[in-house]
Structure 1
């Protein structure tokens, strides 16, 4: 009898220990799986909005693709909207992103003044804004990411001075009036040629558009027989102007800005004389990296510069 009682007590003890051990294991399991899910959820909850001035320009297409690639690499959702060079469409795009409750908005303005309303709308919704390539002349932005467009314009001007040996007649084809890139590139260019005998005989906007660049240059060639060089505020306009020059059978130094694939090929083929490389892929990637810092509450510089270089061969 005593032996049976001892065996019963021993079996009950083993059973109790097993139950306690089982309960302990079941409580510990969720703790080992919660943390990875939480980390994955953090990035999934962050949505980045990207508003591009136009996707009808290879420069901005490259910038957009680089931003998308960087967002994918970092695990963030990115929503891209095209403003089609229309300030009204731009503010509509920003309002759409506000409705979608994005965490941060990257915006490449159509116009530096007009974009102020869009930036202010995002500010009112407590959504941080980062500008790319062109500044916003109003509202509050976390940072601006771009090349030094004044320095780029000056770089183009100095190249033309060398090609013309400090004297000659030049045409300046401007970008969208009011766009900071157009203002700054023009400022740098005119600063460079100021103390030379180079004369700007015609200056006209072509809205950063290749077709308009062609049309503007055709008209200028009809009224100015002698032209030694052309500086266009972007490659699309430079390539359009080049077509007009070819059509007129002229030999004119053509310099663009952006180093798009078409422009670089044109330089390599000895048609365009030079283009200023602005690295749009770097602007797009840095934009997403800055967005990540802003969302995490980390400090970002007011201006993040992107290096420039002149391509002449």
Structure 2
């Protein structure tokens, strides 16, 4: 009898633990693309924090496609997510996905890129305007006032591209740079290479390049190497592992380092606070730093 009681108690404990596991709250992270080291690191930061706090985290890749992004958010309605963390493909297009989440009663947090419309509880991101200005200030310090510069822009319509460009424009005006060209390369390394090759044809006198992310900076670096333009200073943005390695190797002059893992972790921490009914700030900044040699 005593043995039977012990077995029943063990079964009850096991059933309780199993029920607790199934009752685990679920968070959803819809990310613009996982074909970019920056966003992979952001995902990893979110995953680590979710595991630490006892949440199940669903991660969906929008593949830089607003239609896929909307489908991902629609999918969440049957997957039991309690909070939506979303890194928008486009600040305007994401409004449809956010409104869908709003109608479903899902609290929404945006990461890295803001949304132009829809109800968002909190936006977790670096100060992209300040970062663009930091890049320009670094160029002025190394090359001097009146430098002849080219800018490689990110995806048009994203808040990150718009804000980094705004900050860099402040530096262009303040330091009297000559902006030879400013053209999108969509945050993509191959496009950064191709756009830089094209721009070099008409602007051989360029002295410095500001790329709005490290992937475009690494593409521009290859184009400049192929053209034997070794003296052109290149500044990237994001502080990715590859970007930092290129700085350490002397191939990039600097990268304005975000902390993507920290953005992901803070987003999960903020979601946890939202679920506990706590008040959170509408904008949570994550510090930036210049990594250069």
Larger radius of gyration: 1
1:81 aligns with 2:50: no
1:193 Cα offset (Å): 2.1
2:292 match: 312
Partners of 2:172 and 2:179 within 8 A in 1:
no
1:187 aligns with 2:195: no
Question: Which shows bigger deviation, 151-160 or 38-47?
Answer: 38-47
Partners of 1:43 and 1:75 within 8 A in 2:
no
1:42 Cα offset (Å): 8.3
Question: Which shows bigger deviation, 292-301 or 107-116?
Answer: 292-301
The normalised TM-score by structure 1 is: 0.87
1:297 Cα offset (Å): 1.3
Residues in 2 aligned to 1:243 and 1:286: alpha-carbon distance in whole angstroms? 35
Residues in 1 aligned to 2:226 and 2:132: alpha-carbon distance in whole angstroms? 27
1:118 aligns with 2:97: yes
Where do residues 171-210 of structure 1 align in structure 2 (5 Å cutoff)? 171-210=150-189
1:287 aligns with 2:267: yes
Q: Summarize deviations over 1:251-271 as a string: whole Å, max 9, x none.
A: 200000001111111111111
The normalised TM-score by structure 2 is: 0.93
1:258 aligns with 2:238: yes
1:142 match: 121
Q: How many residues align?
A: 283
CA RMSD of aligned residues (A): 1.9
**Of the candidates 208, 217, 242, which is equivalent to residue 229 of structure 1?**
208
Residues in 2 aligned to 1:143 and 1:42: alpha-carbon distance in whole angstroms? 28
Residues in 1 aligned to 2:287 and 2:75: alpha-carbon distance in whole angstroms? 33
Where do residues 124-135 of structure 1 align in structure 2 (5 Å cutoff)? 124-135=103-114
Question: Which shows bigger deviation, 300-309 or 289-298?
Answer: 289-298
Residues in 1 aligned to 2:209 and 2:271: alpha-carbon distance in whole angstroms? 38
**Of the candidates 283, 287, 291, which is equivalent to residue 303 of structure 1?**
283
Give unmatched runs, 5+ long, in structure 2: none
Residues in 2 aligned to 1:183 and 1:44: alpha-carbon distance in whole angstroms? 41
Q: Summarize deviations over 1:233-286 as a string: whole Å, max 9, x none.
A: 000000000000000000200000001111111111111000001000100000
Residues in 2 aligned to 1:55 and 1:127: alpha-carbon distance in whole angstroms? 23
Other structure's SS at 1:286 match: helix
Partners of 2:112 and 2:126 within 8 A in 1:
yes
Residues in 1 aligned to 2:236 and 2:23: alpha-carbon distance in whole angstroms? 41
Partners of 1:108 and 1:133 within 8 A in 2:
yes
Distance 1:237 1:118, change over 3 A: same
Residues in 2 aligned to 1:37 and 1:283: alpha-carbon distance in whole angstroms? 34
1:195 Cα offset (Å): 2.6
Q: Summarize deviations over 1:150-188 as a string: whole Å, max 9, x none.
A: 000011010011112112210000000010000000000
TM superposition outliers: structure 1 runs of 4+ over 3 Å:
36-40, 42-45
1:67 match: 46
Other structure's SS at 1:110 match: coil
Partners of 2:24 and 2:54 within 8 A in 1:
no
Where do residues 39-58 of structure 1 align in structure 2 (5 Å cutoff)? 41=20, 44-58=23-37
1:278 aligns with 2:258: yes
Give unmatched runs, 5+ long, in structure 1: 1-25
Other structure's SS at 1:121 match: helix
Residues in 2 aligned to 1:40 and 1:171: alpha-carbon distance in whole angstroms? 58
Residues in 1 aligned to 2:182 and 2:63: alpha-carbon distance in whole angstroms? 25
